[in-house]
Amino acid sequence: MGDQAHENLIGLLQRFMDEPAARTAHKDIQAGERWLDAQPAPAPDALVIAALKTQMAVWALRRHRIRRLVHASVAAAAAVIVLSLIGLLGPRSTSRPHLSYAAIIPTAIWESDDITTDDLDLVYFSSEIRQIEAQVRALDADDSDNGVVGIPEEFETELMAIQTELWKG
Amino acid sequence: MYAGRCYGYFYRLTGDRNLSDELLSELFIRLVEKIGSYKGGAFESWLFKIASNIFHDHLRGKQRRRKLLDAHRSQLELEPGLNEPRFSDEGEIRLDKLQVQLSRLDADTRDLILLRFYSELSFKEIAELRSEPIGTALSKLHRGLKKLRELMEG
C-alpha cells in the first residue's frame, strides 16, 4: 500500500480507537501484510491459463455468432411483419374485381319438383332468351327489320323535337 | 493479472494447487456466465465477490470439505518443524511457512486477510462484500494479522 493508503487506514482506525491505539494497530497490520508480501503464492499453471484463454475465446466466438444469428432473425421477422402489414392494410391492387351474377332462370325452378309446370316455364324463358339474342344480334348488325324497335332513331327524333321546341321558346 | 491474484487467493485458502486450478477455472466460467450482471464500478470487488462465493460453495460440499479438513490436519501432523519450509511428497510443491501459519487462523479471519491482501479492495468495499460493519472487518483484520505476525515470528 502507498503512503496515502496508510494514512487513510490510520484515519479509519482512529474512528474506532484513540490515536496511539490506532498507530499500534496500523503497525500490526503493516507487519502482518509484510509476511504476506514476503512469501508470494505460486503462479497458476501455464496450461490452466492457456485452457482458460481458449475457453474465453470460444465463448466470445459463440457469443458473437449468437448475436449475429439474433440480428438476422430479428431482421427476417421484421420483414415478415412489414409484408404482413402491407398485405393487410395496404391497397388491394392485386385483388380480383368483384363479379355479380344475375340468374335468368329463377332458383325456384331448380328447386321445384313439379316437372310439368317447370317445363312450361322453361319453354317461356327459353323463348325470352331467344328473343333477347335476336335483339342483340340486330343491334350489332344495325338491323331493325326483324321487328326490333330502332332505339337510336327514336333518340334522334326526340332530340330534333327538343331542339325545335327550344328555339321556339 | 487478475488470474494470478485470484489464484493466490484460492491457493492461500486451500493450500492445494490442483484445487486452486479447479477453483480458478470455475471462477472464469462463472465470470462468463455472470458478465451480464456486472453493472460497472469496481471490477475487483465484483470479481472477488464471485471468487469468495466459489470458495464458500466449495466448502459447503460435504465430501470436499472433509477432504480439505483432512488435508489440513495431515499437513499439520506431518509438519516436521513449523519454522522450516518443507516439501510435499512429490518434491515439487513447496508448502511454505506462511501457508502453515495461515491454516492455524480461524477460517473467517483467514478469508478476510486474504481477501484484503489479494483483492486490494478498500475496507469499505470489503465490509460491503462481507455484509458486515466496517469496524468489525477492521477489528478482525487487525487481530488476525497481529496473530499471524506472532506465529511467523514465534
* Probe site for chain B from A48, A56, A66 (most B CB atoms < 10 A): A48
Provide the pLDDT for residue A70.
84
pTM of the model: 0.59
Q: How many CB pairs under 8 A join A and B?
A: 77
* Mean pLDDT, residues B14-35: 89
Of the listed ranges A3-7, A10-14, A42-46, B147-151, the least confidently predicted one is: A3-7
Q: How far apart are CA A30 and CA A47, in angstroms?
A: 35
Is the Cβ of B97 closer than 8 Å to some Cβ of chain A? yes
pLDDT of residue A145: 54
Look at A102 and A55; give whichever has higher pLDDT: A55
B144/A contact by beta carbon, under 8 A: yes
Q: Is the pLDDT of residue A78 over 70?
A: yes
pLDDT tens-digit readout, A10-50: 888 999 989 999 999 999 999 999 999 998 888 888 888 88
Helix-, strand-, coil-residue percentages of chain A, each rounded to 5: 75, 0, 25
Closest to B103 in 3D by CA, of B38, B10, B25, B14: B14
CA–CA min distance A80, chain B (Å): 30
Strand-pairing partners, residue B86, are B95
Residue B17 pLDDT > 80, yes or no?
A: yes
To the nearest whole Å, the CA of A19 is away from the closest chain B CA by 15
Beta-carbon separation of A55 and B7 below 8 A? no
Distance CA B30, CA B36 (A): 11
> What's the rounded Cα separation, in Å, for the pair A21 and A25?
6
Contact status, residue B58 vs residue B23, Cβ threshold 8 Å:
yes
> What is the pLDDT, as a whole number, of residue A69?
82
Asked whether B28 and B6 are in contact (CB, 8 A), the reply is no
pLDDT per position as a tens digit, A138-167: 887 865 555 555 666 777 777 777 766 656
Whether A16 contacts A3, CB under 8 Å: no
Distance (Å, whole) CA A14 – CA A11: 5
Choose, out of A39, A45, A47, A67, the residue to mutate when testing the contact with B (most B CBs < 10 Å). Answer: A39
Strands of B104-143, DSSP E: none
Mean of the per-residue pLDDT values of chain B: 83
Task: Give yes or no for residue B83 having a pLDDT over 50.
Answer: no
Q: Between the CA of residue B8 and those of A3, A101, A156, what are the distances in Å? A: 24, 91, 115
Q: Which amino acid is at B85?
A: P
Of the pLDDT bands very low, low, confident and very high (cuts 50, 70, 90), residue B12 is very high
- Side chain identity at B79, as an amino acid letter? E
> Which is nearest to B4 in space by CA: A10, A144, A48?
A48
Q: Is the pLDDT of residue B80 over 80?
A: no
